[in-house]
């Protein structure tokens, strides 16, 4: 276990220690019954007083995460959202526990393992219902499509991806007003790898990064792992609060802002055009890198789709990231990032260091769906289907949900963000009621770095079929009502 | 540009600065005419005296890498193996040059870009000749194979890879005496990603890592990027010198040893069984992680293949890495790593953070070739073909090479390691003679972290067809003879 404290931070040292141990327990990196270092040892390792460590351990005990056994030491406690996930039961070697690692957190990985895909009412998985995906068509034409390009399959190809494929993607992205070109693109293994390359390349210990609260949990894991100083900024109905960002820039000199401006994950909110202009202007003033994560903007429920942040950027500040898993399915592990100038050059080197480039075979296999007309037709139809599902869900919620439950009406994407009464914990609700009834959703706590709102959860309407969706939401409403009263 | 110095190191500060700037120039991260920081600024940033920086700059100037222009500043010089490679010509934004990154080096990526695949005598590319690869067969059966597993293609699957595929790989690996099981495996995007996950997870600033000299250039890039303290250990005809490793362990307390024990890249040497036992025993004494990279041990030219290092390990010290690009082709981006206990658990989380898992589609597509019998038949035939090529090359060298050229007789793999007279630089030879005659090989300097042997080069006999191979080697011999005299 590697804990690091930042003595210049305004966060109490004991809270820093508490947060890092919490992260590792919630990630499953520390497992049930794993011993924690003694107070004396941890104190001397971090050069902090034993009193500070004691404070941290007492809080962790109060949080229900650890247990202090007199005369034996301090140990990690179990529980569904604590430490139970062991990928596989197997031998453990004592000496290995002394091997320090640089993994700060992997909470998203662990929580995803908790999703039971066999749940009839899986409202947790942010994927598209298999029957709506083009998988069958792609598989059917696989031999033909690959035969056509067999000469390209013999070599590594360029690390940034096949030029033919990048050209097609660039055309589609430009149609969406994204300021890009084939040479500005790197093909990645899903959006996740794009984010990972960016964070590993530009963010290191104590670099300040601003993220929205709530936000995509995967990015929190990456930032914690790099030892970044994370500043969270709540969003409102117009997205990231740019006026507050101004103050943060003055005070903390951030290097990067990570944002999901269109149909934000998990809240569904879109950034207003005014805020987009403000954000770019702030980036220019303070020389910020902006990561625009855009996983499902194609799934828009209104006539006029809002513009990408990238379209306002003329000075190379925005790194645009698009994962295609939410649109064409996760099996291709396909994503893309777009950036300008030396930023994209450096990311190309990072991609090469990471894996020498993504599979050319996959790119050629899936290429036909990225023909502009095919893509537009496919995504328009998928958007209609998702809009229909969103309407079904909202209708049922209007009819069946207890009045204490609040939710957002999404204008795009695949999620609703729900808020329970303050005193209700979504984790407890999931744990004690929903799971055994075959319903799963993602508790809101996952989406916060600090100060989590325990009474929130994300409800995904894209994965199960419509019938199960209807039945599941009705059932969920009834269970919530019973749970509250 | 981010330079870091380690004031506790025994390496002079000026040499540390020189090495890091050299790395960035050779990687193409610093390009021709890029300005270097002023002596005063760099000195104050690193808290070292201007005299130290001046010393570093003077050496870099003598190395022909930078140029000091009076009254203007210090700039990067061009030249084939200096800084010329720009992935694409494009706009540069001034503010971006101030954005620091954590990329220490990406020399392998850059040098690979220098290989001209259209060279008729490409003796640089370490891939198998396309016509020997199973690509056609795989493509032909793609539709059938994927249809069979279509249900698996709808979800992300587990981050560590498809269990059916891992089971097949485990069977094959166990046949080779590798101590593994399906749950000990992670499927990766080639061997490169496996190495990258290991290094990013376990190695950070100033962790000591021992590598062989020479070794695979990609690992040097990763270690430099993580800020590791790298200790190089020359190899002899029995591989890594374990007696010297003992002394290094006493003195520097390394955390990891990276080794290629079978048909070492680039020299072709295999570690003796005695040294393997020694290495494991050292690992047990000093709690070392050992990374065993094994890219092409299937391509053995002798009856009795030597055992993997992993087979001697009973205590979870060895992380075994196998990239399949050299055996089945690079288009699948397929590799695997095997480890035990908490080491593999932590790497599973790292893999999930990196890209949420490798493509299930690819795994199911290529699975049939990993049926044990098919695999054995395929690799046995491929080994015979490579053996034949090795014999052709050695025969031609015996007949045509000038007596000043020395080379290794390989017992497996796809490379020969060649040594020119001391005063001849392989880079110059390549640059001034070979390139324009359509011959390329990899200069030995690429394979060294420090103290490169400029008179060495790696000759790969696997990529071009046999006819071109014969013709190319004859021609190369003639050109070397002319160049020497």
For position B85, which CATH number holds? Answer: 1.10.10.10
Residues B191-222: pLDDT tens digits?
A: 999 999 999 999 998 899 999 999 999 999 99
A397 plus A341 within the same structural domain: no
* A159 vs B contacts (CB less than 8 Å): 109
Asked whether the ipTM of the predicted complex exceeds the cut of 0.85, the reply is yes
| B102 part of a folded domain | no
How many distinct structural domains can be found in chain A? Answer: 3
Q: For every residue of A27-59, which 3-state class applies, written as one string?
A: HCCCCCCCECCCHHHHHHHHCCCHHHHHHHHHH
Q: What is the CATH number of the domain that holds B202?
A: 3.40.640.10
**How many angstroms away from the CA of A200 is the closest CA of chain B?**
7
The answer to whether A467 faces chain B, any CB pair under 8 Å, is: no
A297 plus A380 within the same structural domain: no
d(CA B267, CA A409): 64
Q: What is the CATH number of the domain that holds B400?
A: 3.90.1150.10
The answer to whether B95 faces chain A, any CB pair under 8 Å, is: yes
* B146 vs A contacts (CB less than 8 Å): 139, 142
> Of A28, A189, A110, which is closest to residue B196 (Cα–Cα)?
A189
Do B139 and A147 make contact, defined as CB atoms within 8 angstroms? yes
Query: Residue B81's pLDDT band (boundaries 50, 70, 90)?
Result: low
> Which residue on chain A is closest to B99 by alpha carbon?
A202
Do B196 and A135 make contact, defined as CB atoms within 8 angstroms? no
| A76 part of a folded domain | yes
**Where does a domain end: A321, A337, A372?**
A372
d(CA A228, CA A249): 16
Q: What are phi and psi of B324, to 5 degrees?
A: -100, 0
**How many angstroms away from the CA of B135 is the closest CA of chain A?**
7
- pLDDT value of residue B114: 67
A125 plus A264 within the same structural domain: no
B269 plus B280 within the same structural domain: yes
Is residue B117 packed enough to be buried (19+ CB in 10 Å), middle (13-18) or exposed (0-12)? middle
Do A355 and B193 make contact, defined as CB atoms within 8 angstroms? yes
- pLDDT value of residue B82: 47
Higher-pLDDT residue of B401 and B105 is B401
What parts of chain A have a pLDDT lower than 50?
80, 82-89
Query: Residue B414's pLDDT band (boundaries 50, 70, 90)?
Result: very high
* B255 vs A contacts (CB less than 8 Å): 99
Residues B82-106: pLDDT tens digits?
A: 444 444 445 678 899 888 899 888 8
B192 plus B261 within the same structural domain: yes
Average pLDDT on B136-145 reads 95
Whole-number Cα distances in Å, A41 to A54, A94, A329, A394: 12, 18, 48, 54
> Hey, which residues 239-298 in chain A have their CB within 8 Å of chain B?
255, 287, 289
A187 plus A257 within the same structural domain: yes
Residue A415 bridge partners (DSSP): A460
CB B74 within 8 A of CB B25: no
- pLDDT value of residue A46: 87
Q: Going along A71-146, which residue ranges are E strands? A: 73-76, 121-122
| A103 part of a folded domain | no
| A73 part of a folded domain | yes
DSSP A300: B
Query: Residue B1's pLDDT band (boundaries 50, 70, 90)?
Result: low
The b/e string for B311-340 (b: 16+ C-beta within 10 A; e otherwise) is bbbebbbbbbbbbbbbbbbbbbbbbbbbbb
Cβ neighbour number for residue A98 with a 10 Å cutoff: 9
Which of A89, A151, A355, A357 to mutate: most B Cβ within 10 Å?
A355
CB A82 within 8 A of CB A76: yes
- pLDDT value of residue B20: 84
- pLDDT value of residue B25: 83
Whole-number Cα distances in Å, B398 to B385, B421, B485: 20, 17, 19
**How many angstroms away from the CA of B340 is the closest CA of chain A?**
8
Residues B314-361: pLDDT tens digits?
A: 999 999 999 999 999 999 999 999 999 999 999 999 999 999 999 999
**Where does a domain end: A328, A345, A372?**
A372
| A95 part of a folded domain | no
Q: Which of A142, A184, A200 sits opposite B146 (nearest CB)?
A: A142
B391 plus B408 within the same structural domain: yes
- pLDDT value of residue A83: 42
Which SS3 state, helix, strand or coil, does residue A323 take?
strand
B265 plus B358 within the same structural domain: yes
Under 8 Å CB pairs connecting chains A and B tally to 286
d(CA A27, CA A10): 25
**Where does a domain end: B336, B353, B374?**
B374
**How many angstroms away from the CA of A335 is the closest CA of chain B?**
10
- Poorest-confidence range of B17-31, B121-135, B373-387? B17-31
B309 plus B380 within the same structural domain: no
**How many angstroms away from the CA of B11 is the closest CA of chain A?**
24
| B156 part of a folded domain | yes
DSSP B433: I
Is residue B8 packed enough to be buried (19+ CB in 10 Å), middle (13-18) or exposed (0-12)? exposed
B144 plus B193 within the same structural domain: yes
CA B421 distance to own-chain centroid:
25
CB A346 within 8 A of CB A322: no
* A86 vs B contacts (CB less than 8 Å): 345
CA B158 distance to own-chain centroid:
28
End-to-end CA distance of chain A: 43
Q: What are phi and psi of A407, to 5 degrees?
A: -150, 165
- Poorest-confidence range of B121-125, B150-154, B163-167, B180-184? B150-154
| B103 part of a folded domain | no
What would the two tokens of residue B385 be?
């073909």
The answer to whether B460 faces chain A, any CB pair under 8 Å, is: no
Domain that holds residue B440: 114-133+376-484
> Hey, which residues 32-61 in chain B have their CB within 8 Å of chain A?
none
B178 plus B211 within the same structural domain: yes
| B450 part of a folded domain | yes
In the numeric block, the tokens 């706009």 are attached to B91
d(CA B143, CA B166): 21
* A157 vs B contacts (CB less than 8 Å): 330-331
> Of B400, B29, B57, B277, which is closest to residue A342 (Cα–Cα)?
B29
B302 plus B358 within the same structural domain: yes
CB B187 within 8 A of CB B334: yes
């Amino acid at each position: 276990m590697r804990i690091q404290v930042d003595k210049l931070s305004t966060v109490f040292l004991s809270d820093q220690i508490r947060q890092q141990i919490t992260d590792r327990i919630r990630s499953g990196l520390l497992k049930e019954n794993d011993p924690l270092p003694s107070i004396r040892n941890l104190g001397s390792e971090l050069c902090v007083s034993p009193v500070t460590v004691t404070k941290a351990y007492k809080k962790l005990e109060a949080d229900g995460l650890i247990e202090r056994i007199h005369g034996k030491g301090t140990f990690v406690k179990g529980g569904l959202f604590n430490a139970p996930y062991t990928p596989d039961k197997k031998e453990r070697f004592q000496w290995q526990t002394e091997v320090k690692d640089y993994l700060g957190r992997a909470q998203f990985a662990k929580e995803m393992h908790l999703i039971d895909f066999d749940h009839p009412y899986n409202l947790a998985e942010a994927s598209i219902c298999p029957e709506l995906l083009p998988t069958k068509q792609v598989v059917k034409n696989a031999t033909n499509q690959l035969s056509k390009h067999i000469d390209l399959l013999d070599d590594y190809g360029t690390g940034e991806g096949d030029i033919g494929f990048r050209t097609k993607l660039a055309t589609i992205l430009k149609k969406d007003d994204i300021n890009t070109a084939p040479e500005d693109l790197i093909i990645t293994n899903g959006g996740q790898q794009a984010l990972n390359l960016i964070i590993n390349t530009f963010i290191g210990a104590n670099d300040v990064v601003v993220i929205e609260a709530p936000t995509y949990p995967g990015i929190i894991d990456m930032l914690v792992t790099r030892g970044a100083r994370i500043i969270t900024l709540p969003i409102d109905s117009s997205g990231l609060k740019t006026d507050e960002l101004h103050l943060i820039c003055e005070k903390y000199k951030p290097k990067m802002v990570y944002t999901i401006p269109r149909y934000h994950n998990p809240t569904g909110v879109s950034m207003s055009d005014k805020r987009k202009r403000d954000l770019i202007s702030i980036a220019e003033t303070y020389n910020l890198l902006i990561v625009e994560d855009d996983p499902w903007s194609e799934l828009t429920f209104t006539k006029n789709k809002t513009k990408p942040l990238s379209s306002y950027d003329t000075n190379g500040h925005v790194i645009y990231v698009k994962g295609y898993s939410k649109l064409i399915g996760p099996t291709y592990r396909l994503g893309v990032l777009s950036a300008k100038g030396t930023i994209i050059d450096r990311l190309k080197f990072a991609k090469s260091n990471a894996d020498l480039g993504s599979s050319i075979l996959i790119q050629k296999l899936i290429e036909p769906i990225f023909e502009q007309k095919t893509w537009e037709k496919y995504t328009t139809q998928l958007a209609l289907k998702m809009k229909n599902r969103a309407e079904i869900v909202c209708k049922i919620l209007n009819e069946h949900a207890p009045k204490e439950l609040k939710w957002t009406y999404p204008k795009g994407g695949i999620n609703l963000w729900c808020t329970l009464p303050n005193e209700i914990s979504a984790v407890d609700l999931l744990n004690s009621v929903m799971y055994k009834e075959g319903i799963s959703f993602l508790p809101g706590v996952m989406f916060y770095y600090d100060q989590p709102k325990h009474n929130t959860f994300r409800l995904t309407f894209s994965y199960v079929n419509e019938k199960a969706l209807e039945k599941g939401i009705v059932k969920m409403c009834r269970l919530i009502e019973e749970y509250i009263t």
